[in-house]
C-alpha cells in the first residue's frame, strides 16, 4: 500500500538556520503530496501541497518540490524562526485517504 517515510527527529536549529526535512513516498498511482504542520497543543494545518510531478508547493517561506524520479517531497526553509517550532508531517493522498509519515519535531532556538 501507499506509504510515507520521513526523516526522524528531533531537529534542533538556531534562528536563521536552513531547514530540510526529507520525505520519500511509495505509491502505486499518482498521489498528491502534502506537508502539514502541528503547533503545540493544536490540530494539523496544511502547510503546502503539490498535485503532480515537478510542482512546487510554497507557503510561509517553506518550499517542497514533487520529484517523481526520486519519489521525494523534501521540505525546505532558508531561514527559520522560533515560531517555526512545530511537528511537521509529510503525507500523500490517493483518492480520499491520507497516509502520513511519523512526523518530525523541529525546535528553533533564539
Partner 1 sequence: NAGVTQTPKFQVLKTGQSMTLQCAQDMNHEYMSWYRQDPGMGLRLIHYSVGAGITDQGEVPNGYNVSRSTTEDFPLRLLSAAPSQTSVYFCASRTPGPQETQYFGPGTRLLVL
User: Applying CB under 8 A, which residues contact partner 1?
Assistant: 4, 31-32, 34, 36, 42-46, 49, 51, 89, 93-98, 100-103
Angle at 75 between CA 72 and CA 76, to 5 degrees: 130
Of 38 and 72, the one with the shorter C-beta distance to partner 1 is 38
Least spacing, CB of residue 37 vs partner 1, in Å: 11
Of 31 and 80, the one with the shorter C-beta distance to partner 1 is 31
Q: Are 85 and 108 in contact (CB under 8 A)?
A: yes
Main-chain phi, psi angles of 84, to 5 degrees: -85, -5
Nearest-10 Cα torsion for 5, 7, 8, 13: -160
Of 14 and 26, the one with the shorter C-beta distance to partner 1 is 26
Least spacing, CB of residue 52 vs partner 1, in Å: 9
Least spacing, CB of residue 40 vs partner 1, in Å: 12
Residues listed for the chain: 110
Amino acid at each position: 500500500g501507499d506509504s510515507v517515510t520521513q526523516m526522524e527527529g528531533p531537529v534542533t536549529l538556531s534562528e536563521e538556520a536552513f531547514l530540510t526535512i526529507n520525505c520519500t513516498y511509495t505509491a502505486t498511482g499518482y498521489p498528491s503530496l502534502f506537508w502539514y504542520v502541528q503547533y503545540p497543543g493544536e490540530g494539523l494545518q496544511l502547510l503546502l501541497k503539490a498535485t503532480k510531478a515537478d510542482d512546487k508547493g510554497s507557503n510561509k517561506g517553506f518550499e517542497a518540490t514533487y520529484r517523481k524520479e526520486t519519489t521525494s517531497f523534501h521540505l525546505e526553509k532558508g531561514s527559520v524562526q522560533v515560531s517555526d517550532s512545530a511537528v511537521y508531517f509529510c503525507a500523500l493522498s490517493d483518492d480520499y485517504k491520507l497516509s502520513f509519515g511519523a512526523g518530525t519535531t523541529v525546535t528553533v532556538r533564539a
